[in-house]
Chain A
Amino acid sequence: MKRLLCLGLAASLAVLSFGQEFKLGTAVSDFTLSDLNGNPVKFSNLKGDVTVVMFIATQCPVSNAYNGRMSSLANEYASRGVRFIAVNSNATEPAAEVAKHAMNHGFPFKVYKDEKNAVADRFGAQVTPEAFVIDKTGIIRYHGAIDNSRNEGDVKIKALDAAISEVLSGKTVERTEMKAFGCTIKRSKKS
């Protein structure tokens, strides 16, 4: 029992030390978000055969430049069992603002609040927009940008689209990560 407690403590410390718990190629455990009325919602009740978790923002111009592209992808893959979950972890953007933003842009996916950025911390998400593709076994198969340019006309690499397609067809994801410039997630101040 004592040994188990020690192991548990060590595991907790590891999470605290490194922040990020869910990494590329590893499985995510269940986590809780809040719907825009403040009700807790578990990931296990939201996920699809393939799930795309996207960290987005209401005020970040880069994230907003992707509103149309995110909606198109969600619509394109909806019939193939892919569930898109948008997460707003910004302490500076309250639920009411997130709800208004989602309504104004007619998102075909739901947006959830991540109170005290607990979920962003577990994913190690830093920037908006930032996407994670989770396969049906719960393993993260892609992490990073939606594509290579905030200007739609300059897009050459549709990394998220390609990753979803590869996961759906059981192929190895060729490009598993892609970085791009974006807005920092505005985390709540730790007391």
Chain B
Amino acid sequence: MRTVILTAIASAIALFPVAGPQLKPLDEAGYRRVIDAHKGTVLLVDFWATWCSPCLEELPLLVRLGEKYRGKGLRLVTISCDETSDEPRARQLIEKHKAQPGYLKQAPDDEKFINSVDPKWSGALPGLFLYDRRGRLVRSFIGEADMTALESAIRQLL
């Protein structure tokens, strides 16, 4: 019995070797605070989920973009739209792609949360939202983003 339990624990650790900080829970008010805290920078917010394959394809590209323009004032914030039970997997992916520790959407009402980001957004993932240095939403990319168009939009704001 003890062997079975130890094997199960070892398997769980092997599956989720997550050492970094947990993704911070985020609701509508928290989202507003994140935007406000990034005033003075150009902010790219990436809404993603572990079940969203285009999100996973985009994540390393976004991290690279974030690094490329970090010195000029770009910041990338990732918000996982997974359920709480999927947080370890989400954290594992964030660490794998060397993204900054991000957030986990944790709002009781998804619709209210989606509308607080952008009333025109359907909730489709991936969802990228680009804010200028004054914290104003200037552009969104829903679905698989055209990375050239995204980079061009970022450069214009920088």
Chain A interface residues (CB < 8 Å from chain B): 59, 61-62, 126-127, 130, 145, 148, 150-151, 154, 178-187
Contact = CB atoms under 8 A, between A and B. Distances in A.
A86 B126 CA distance: 23
B67 interface: no
Interface of B is mostly: loop
A180 B52 contact: no
Nearest to A124: B122
Contacts of B114: 179-181
| Interface footprint category on B | 20 to 34
Interface of A is mostly: loop
A17 to B, nearest CB: 15
A38 to B, nearest CB: 26
A132 to B, nearest CB: 13
Given A151-B83, A184-B143, A184-B144, A127 B111 contact: no
A169 B122 CA distance: 29
Nearest to B54: A184
Given A181-B81, A182-B123, A182-B125, 15 more contacts: A62-B51, A126-B142, A127-B123, A130-B122, A148-B110, A150-B83, A154-B83, A179-B114, A179-B115, A180-B114, A181-B124, A183-B125, A184-B143, A186-B143, A186-B144
A41 to B, nearest CB: 26
Contacts of A151: 83
A56 B75 CA distance: 35
Nearest to A150: B83
Given A126-B142, A148-B110, A151-B83, A180 B51 contact: no
Contacts of A61: 51
Contact of A181 (B54, B115, B123): B123
B43 interface: no
Given A61-B51, A126-B142, A151-B83, A184 B110 contact: no
B111 A180 contact: yes
Given A184-B142, A184-B144, A179 B111 contact: yes
Given A61-B51, A148-B110, A151-B83, A181 B142 contact: no
B44 interface: no
Contacts of B123: 127, 145, 179-182
A61 B51 CA distance: 6
Nearest to A177: B111
A59 B110 CA distance: 22
B59 interface: no
Nearest to B142: A184
Contacts of A62: 51
Given A61-B51, A151-B83, A179 B110 contact: yes
